[in-house]
Structure formats: structure tokens, C-alpha cells
Structure 1
């Protein structure tokens, strides 16, 4: 389990709002409400949280969830050192004490017994029981819990229990409209309008292949990576094959179909 340090972003993370998500997040923070971000991989959920931490001037602790994430990984554990046993706080405990925004990325990947640890923090109690040291920690007024997940593919095998879902205000994310996505690719990919327009047009064509068995459609993140390669001097077709097509699938038929679309886009 890895967690980013609890420091507020020093420079404004670039983010293009698509609706009223900024206002809703601000009101949830002011009213101590937990937030759930739902949307496909690479559509801007993490960047949105980084932007809001900067906007609210709050430290941000990001935790990438996975199957082996335990409650102790979040809360803390006793460690044995040269001077004996000592208590080491986990990232969730630090966020609760410091009044940070704690962001659990892909929370559905964590075990259900781990997710249950979040429940007392997401209702009127706003407490974190530290059973191993006999302490009940009250959350700082500035503490906010944010979780995210991709309902598109995770719901097939995993999902949050209703008792967990109903503790959050939910914001639905999707890939931005074409012109906004072009603006994002231009800014983040350091590219020109023509290249960004071609990449976004290609992405829309590739996303239509989801009905043909493509498990994950190309994200805005992949478009930015492709744009950066093109800007560095890599030929457009080669950049698309390496940064856009190969990460999506190993299926020969799908890969061939996607490469045909690349060739049609960058003639």
C-alpha cells in the first residue's frame, strides 16, 4: 500500500470543469460530507481531487486501493524498532488528525472488511476507532473523505455494499465533451490544436469499439501520453500504436481494427 504525502498542491492542478462538480465538492467540504467519484479510468477523477485540494488549501493524502489493503494499512500498526515497539499511524489516521482530504482511489478494490473501517467517519459521528491503542479519534473539522471507482468494469465482479454507498454524496464523471477534451490534450500534452483534434476524434471512434469486446476504452490520460510522444518527434501512427492501442488490448482482431482507425485518422 502506498500513500502520497499530506501536502497541498503548490501549483494549481489543471482541471476543466464539466458541470457543477466544483460547487458540490466545496459545499460537501464545508458541511463535512463524504464524496464518491464514479467514472471510467482516466477521465479526470484524480486530477479533480488534486484541483479541489489546491482550491480549498487542504493537504491531500492519496491511497491506491488493492486486494491486499488491510484495515491496519489504513489506520496503523505496532512496529518493532531498535528502541522497542512503537505505534505507527496509517495514512487515514494522519488525514483525520491533520484535517486533510483523504482520497481512496479505486476503493472497490479494497476488501469489504477494510471498507467498513470508513463507516464511522462517514456519518454524524465522524470518528475513527483506534482499537489497538484504545483511542477514539475525532475527525478534524477540515477532514474530508473522498473515494473513487470505475463502475463500468468493477461492478461485474465487485461493488460497494448499499450500506457503504449511501454514506456518500456521489458525483458522476465521464469523458469530457470533444472541445473540452481537445483543450485538455492541448494543455497537458503540449501539442497543437490539429493534433489534439485528431486524437480526440480517434478516441471517439475507438470508444465505439466497447460494444465489440474492448474492456477499457481509451482515456483522456492515454490521449495526453500520445500527444506528448508526438510532440517529442515520434510519428503519429507510431505514437498511437505505443501509447494508445497497445495498452488497451492484446486481442489481435481488436488491435487490427484499432490500427486501421489510426491509419484513417493520420493519413
Structure 2
């Protein structure tokens, strides 16, 4: 096995709390190498799920955090100049296709549409990646799978996946877990007691009800883990909530007051 791919294996089991049948469905999708699309709000566990599945399937995972400045060359590779002259360097997508990794394009909707079209030949029966600058046609390894994620709540006419892209993928919907499961997750990840974790989840539920009524997004599970981690380190619970839950999601004074009041109600 190439040293280029060994570093992408996940050695330790990531903690993932199964909510429904998403693990079984993903395993079935991987068995036929179906490209997968994970849809859900930020911080709800999409990335952790992919990490867990890569560990469970014993496959390397190459993750790309997509952004609007990302070019096709950032994905497939480019020629570089060094002391010995010009050499080709594979991008993360090409590396994954060559060596049979799972390639995870996180928040793919952030990338330009002219960039994301390079994945099309890999997501149908061809399973190929043309490297036009190099004049090479990469046939994807039998273990290769492409996974993308995005937050439908942020989509717009200017920022959405083309139907020609969406229809190449199977899809799993993710959301924030039910209160008892989310409480269990926060307890496990932070070490705080059940009653404190439950109160943090209750605050998050209040905030999520305000989505579209002053908040663009609610408080995520990730943010609850941040707050719980601070509390576990001895930070005052109100200060921890203000820093990890309230301040990051809004600058509106009235909305901050409303969320601060929710914190005071539960603590």
C-alpha cells in the first residue's frame, strides 16, 4: 500500500450514536459503490458519521472542506515546479480515486459549479477521472466512493447543486437528534452530568424554534458539546452558554437577550 494513502486511515473508533437505520443504509450503498449525499444542518453529525463509516468499513477517508475559491485543480491536481523541474501532484480527489479511499467533499455547495462538475465522470457507471492537463485517464479503484454533504437551509438560486449533480447520488437526511439521544451524546463527549446536558439540549430546542424568526440557524449539537466541555472544565455555566451557544449565532441584541433569558430559565 502506498504511503500516500496510509495516513488517511482512521485508527480509533469515532463516537457516533446511531439515530435510525443510516448505518445499514450506508453500508448497502457502499457495497454497490453508490455515491452518497448527506443533507442536514451544520453541526448535526454528518462529518462524524462519515468518519465512523470509514472506520467501520476499514477504508481510508480523504476529506475536502469546500469553499468558493476552490478550483478544479485543487481537487484533481496540478503541475508544480521544484528543484528538479516540473512534476505532477495529484489532488485529493485523484488520490482517493487511485488508491480506493472514500473522498468526502464537505459542504460541496460552497464550491463553484464549474468546479463540482469534475466529479460527474466518477459518479456514474464510467467511474473515471480525466486529468486533462496531464493527458491521463484515471479509472477509479474498486474501493473508491464519493460522498458529499451540504446544508439545504443555506441553499439559494445562486448556491445550490445542479439537478444533473444531485441525481448522481443516493441521499441520507440528517437532523439534530431527539432530546434524549442528544443528551446522551453531549454527556458522552463532555463528561458532564445528565441533568446539565439535558438543560443544554432544552436551550438548543428553544433556539431551533427561532430559526426563520430572527435566527438563520439554531444551536447545533457541536455547539452543545463546546458548552459542555467548558462546563466540565469548571467554567461558570452561564458564561459557558453565553460564549459557546449565544454569542456565535447572533449579533442582534434582542435575540441575544432572548437566548440569554432561556439560559437563565434553565440554569
What corresponds to 2:113 in structure 1?
112
Find the aligned partners of 1:26 and 1:127 in 2 and give their Cα distance: 22
CA contact (8 A) 1:6 1:60 kept: no
Deviation at 1:211, TM superposition (A): 3.3
Find the aligned partners of 2:227 and 2:36 in 1 and give their Cα distance: 31
Q: Which runs of 5+ in 1 are unaligned?
A: none
Are 1:182 and 2:183 counterparts? yes
What corresponds to 2:23 in structure 1?
22
Q: Structure 1 pair 5/66, CA: closer, same or farther in 2 (3 Å)? A: farther
Q: What is the CA deviation profile of residues 131-150 of structure 1, one whole-angstrom value per residue up to 9, with x for unaligned ones?
A: 11111100011000000000
Which has the larger displacement, 161-170 or 4-13? 4-13
What corresponds to 1:33 in structure 2?
34
Deviation at 1:6, TM superposition (A): 4.9
Deviation at 1:156, TM superposition (A): 5.9
CA contact (8 A) 1:76 1:93 kept: yes
What corresponds to 1:62 in structure 2?
63
CA contact (8 A) 1:33 1:144 kept: yes
SS of equivalent to 1:133: coil
Q: What is the CA deviation profile of residues 39-71 of structure 1, one whole-angstrom value per residue up to 9, with x for unaligned ones?
A: 000000000000000000000000000001100
Deviation at 1:155, TM superposition (A): 3.3
SS of equivalent to 2:133: helix
Q: Which runs of 5+ in 2 are unaligned?
A: none
Q: Give the alignment's TM-score, normalised by structure 1.
A: 0.96
Deviation at 1:169, TM superposition (A): 0.1
Find the aligned partners of 1:235 and 1:68 in 2 and give their Cα distance: 40
Q: Which runs of 4+ in 1 moved over 6 A?
A: none
Deviation at 1:5, TM superposition (A): 8.2
Q: Give the alignment's TM-score, normalised by structure 2.
A: 0.96
What corresponds to 1:173 in structure 2?
174
Deviation at 1:206, TM superposition (A): 1.2
Which has the larger displacement, 151-160 or 103-112? 151-160
Find the aligned partners of 1:258 and 1:5 in 2 and give their Cα distance: 45
SS of equivalent to 1:152: helix
Are 1:198 and 2:199 counterparts? yes
Deviation at 1:157, TM superposition (A): 4.0
Find the aligned partners of 2:6 and 2:104 in 1 and give their Cα distance: 12
Are 1:125 and 2:126 counterparts? yes
What corresponds to 2:74 in structure 1?
73
Root-mean-square deviation over aligned CA pairs: 1.2
What corresponds to 1:234 in structure 2?
235
Find the aligned partners of 1:95 and 1:41 in 2 and give their Cα distance: 25
Are 1:45 and 2:36 counterparts? no
Find the aligned partners of 1:93 and 1:5 in 2 and give their Cα distance: 15
Deviation at 1:153, TM superposition (A): 1.7
Q: What is the CA deviation profile of residues 233-263 of structure 1, one whole-angstrom value per residue up to 9, with x for unaligned ones?
A: 0111110000110010101111111101111
What corresponds to 1:219 in structure 2?
220
SS of equivalent to 1:212: coil
CA contact (8 A) 1:6 1:61 kept: no
Find the aligned partners of 1:158 and 1:112 in 2 and give their Cα distance: 9
Find the aligned partners of 2:45 and 2:108 in 1 and give their Cα distance: 16
Are 1:102 and 2:103 counterparts? yes
Q: Structure 1 pair 177/59, CA: closer, same or farther in 2 (3 Å)? A: same
Are 1:260 and 2:246 counterparts? no
Find the aligned partners of 2:208 and 2:29 in 1 and give their Cα distance: 33
